Structure 1
Amino acid sequence: MSRVRIFTDSTCDLSEELLQRFQIEVVPLYVIFEEQSYQDRVNINAQQLFDFVTHTGKLPKTAAPAPIDFEKAFAPFIEAGEDIVYIGLSSELSSTIQNAAIAAGSFPDGRILVIDSRNLSTGIGVLVVKAAQAALEGRNQAEIKAIIEPVIGKIEVSFIIDTLDYLHKGGRCSSVQAFIGSLLKIRPIVTVIGGAMQLTDKVRGKREKALNQLLQNALAFKDEMDTDFMFITHAQAHEEAAYVKQQFELHTNVKNVFLTETGCVVSSHCGPHTVGIVFAKK
């Protein structure tokens, strides 16, 4: 039986420690500042992205890896006799999945399985870690697929966004919406539904109020949570993320609550001081 190697892309927002622990390979997306192109998590990080936006007032563009990028990443493992399961960014948000599938077609049939996470950030990460656990246990592609596909629709991902500036710069809310939101101190909560980001709550007032709303929304599912692990994912919000982690450790039976930081792609959409809660339901 061939060993299975798990691949994902840089939007998974998994920490380097988790990537190494579970032997997960990452194909980076691109971040483009004016004419200069960088690879997410390779030669640019979220702090550098925020510095660029502060300095220029503009958002960088992001781009999916090309099929040739996937081919180059996959080839050494295929040549070493390993099969591959790739789990990537929602096809509703990017052409990343399509390009991975194109690349998979360049290899012998059945060697590479491409799974659309229908999610982003550590919503992908939950699926990737579960797949990697199964791979390390010696499961084959078909067995991993049977484990992962039923979980896709059970992932809950919600973020509190501290500022509407990044959504405005990215064309996801109007100037009027951004102005009114800033004036009224409205802090949106964004949830992944059907593979895309949707605004589900608008909390007016202090940041602590919005953070507690996000927390209570998630804790409403505490009896339905998969207790193996969950993620608290953030962008430059270390204290708040640590507080949310503590609350889940106090009020749920989840064995491992992992803290992770967003990469450039998610950061470019949500901005600094974002906090997200990500878990799977049973």
Structure 2
Amino acid sequence: MAIRIVTDSAADYTKAEIEKRNIICIPMTVSFGDEVFTDGVDLEKEEFFERLKNSKCLPHTAQPSPASFLDCFEEAKTAGDTVIAILISGALSGTIQSAQLAKEIAQYDDIYIVDSCHATLSMRILVDQAVIMRHQGVCAKEIVAMLEKLKQRVTIYAGLDTLEYLYKGGRISRTEANLGKLINIKPVLTFTTDGSVVLCGKQVGFRHVFKQVLQLLEAAPPDMDYPVYFIYSGDKKNCVKFVQYLMKQTGEFEEPKLRGIGPTIGTHIGPGAFGIVYVRK
């Protein structure tokens, strides 16, 4: 009996990464007006951010339908395999509910649905750890138990280049967005333990964002037994400057892993954002 590891496109894997890990990725859909795309299938990250910058309205992302999961679950049931589905935070998307409904329809108990309480590269850390443990021959119940503990230690801090997309998404007012632009305000975001995205700082200029994130890292340092990722949305420029700052201040991160994020989070934070993802000690 094999273990099938399932995730969704909010983990921001490339097609090659999905194939290499032997995992199944259920895609979200992304809509620009009447145009509907399948995330990672007919819309890649680079094209998404080009469209985002040129679009007058905010695109919409939609969770996978229960039917998207059902085919996968029924195939596993027929084969007698176990499924571990590690999905985007339930606080951000209804993807968990779609998977739960598909499990009920499939009437198959050997399906474990894990709310990652994360998205993008912080979600990927969990999926990758599950892949490693599967390769080591660890049983599904132990893998799921490990994920439930590990997700509480996974940490992400992200600095935004613009407030425009928070305004378009209804999270701040036009007045707040205009004032922020005028005085060069850069928000700092993180995930809470329940999977919500919250503001953990507002700084004037990226230099102060870099300094705040460094202080946060010093207060909760990375466990280097796990990967550390540097993330960017659309353009690497700000992320590269951030890495250079950390290297100068700490002497660490000499071989940084830079990874681009996709539409699920990119829709709400816009281009030019950057951040760090790691497992804290």
TM-score of the pair, normalised by structure 2: 0.89
Report deviation, 1:94.
0.8
Report deviation, 1:82.
2.4
Distance 2:45 2:21 in 1: 23
Distance 1:256 1:75 in 2: 42
Please identify, of 212-221 and 8-17, the stretch whose mean Cα deviation from structure 2 is larger.
Answer: 212-221
Match of 1:232 among 230, 233, 240: 230
Q: Which consecutive unaligned segments of at least 5 residues does structure 1 have?
A: none
Equivalent position amino acid for 1:237 in 2: D
- SS of 1:189's equivalent in the other structure is strand
The equivalent residue for 1:199 is 199
Report deviation, 1:276.
1.8
Distance 1:144 1:164, change over 3 A: same
The equivalent residue for 1:30 is 29
Equivalent position amino acid for 2:198 in 1: Q
Match of 2:239 among 234, 238, 241: 241
Distance 1:40 1:225 in 2: 31
- SS of 2:106's equivalent in the other structure is coil
Equivalent position amino acid for 1:204 in 2: V
Equivalent position amino acid for 2:225 in 1: T
Please identify, of 91-100 and 10-19, the stretch whose mean Cα deviation from structure 2 is larger.
Answer: 10-19
Kept in 1, the 8 Å contact 2:223–2:279? The answer is yes
Distance 1:20 1:255 in 2: 28
Kept in 2, the 8 Å contact 1:218–1:277? The answer is no
Give per-residue Cα distances to partners, 1:115-148, cap 9 Å, x unaligned.
Answer: 0011121121111111111111122211111211
Distance 2:7 2:167 in 1: 29
Distance 1:38 1:102, change over 3 A: same
Q: Which runs of 4+ in 1 moved over 6 A?
A: 252-256
Distance 2:178 2:57 in 1: 17
Residues 14-29 of structure 1: pairs in structure 2 closer than 5 A: 14-29=13-28
Please identify, of 169-178 and 257-266, the stretch whose mean Cα deviation from structure 2 is larger.
Answer: 257-266
Q: Is residue 217 from structure 1 mapped to residue 225 from structure 2 by the alignment?
A: no
The equivalent residue for 2:165 is 166
Distance 1:136 1:26, change over 3 A: same
Distance 1:257 1:180 in 2: 34
Q: Percent identity?
A: 28
- SS of 1:211's equivalent in the other structure is helix
- SS of 1:5's equivalent in the other structure is strand
Distance 1:240 1:163, change over 3 A: closer
Report deviation, 1:33.
1.6
Kept in 2, the 8 Å contact 1:227–1:253? The answer is no
Report deviation, 1:70.
1.0
Kept in 2, the 8 Å contact 1:32–1:61? The answer is yes
Report deviation, 1:112.
1.2
Equivalent position amino acid for 1:170 in 2: G
- SS of 2:83's equivalent in the other structure is strand
- SS of 1:260's equivalent in the other structure is strand
The equivalent residue for 1:146 is 145
Distance 1:92 1:252 in 2: 36
- SS of 2:137's equivalent in the other structure is coil
- SS of 2:200's equivalent in the other structure is strand
Distance 1:144 1:61 in 2: 33
Report deviation, 1:40.
0.9
Distance 1:114 1:43 in 2: 27
Kept in 1, the 8 Å contact 2:77–2:108? The answer is no
Give per-residue Cα distances to partners, 1:155-196, cap 9 Å, x unaligned.
Answer: 111110100011111111110110100001000001111311
Q: Which consecutive unaligned segments of at least 5 residues does structure 2 have?
A: none
Distance 1:29 1:271 in 2: 18
Distance 1:34 1:236, change over 3 A: closer
Please identify, of 29-38 and 225-234, the stretch whose mean Cα deviation from structure 2 is larger.
Answer: 225-234
Distance 2:139 2:254 in 1: 26
The equivalent residue for 2:155 is 156
Aligned residue-pair number? 279
Equivalent position amino acid for 2:202 in 1: K
Report deviation, 1:218.
2.4
How large is the Cα RMSD of the aligned pairs?
2.5
Q: Is residue 12 from structure 1 mapped to residue 15 from structure 2 by the alignment?
A: no
Distance 1:141 1:121, change over 3 A: same
- SS of 2:105's equivalent in the other structure is coil
Distance 1:4 1:89 in 2: 20
Residues 52-201 of structure 1: pairs in structure 2 closer than 5 A: 52-193=51-192, 194-201=194-201
Please identify, of 21-30 and 160-169, the stretch whose mean Cα deviation from structure 2 is larger.
Answer: 21-30
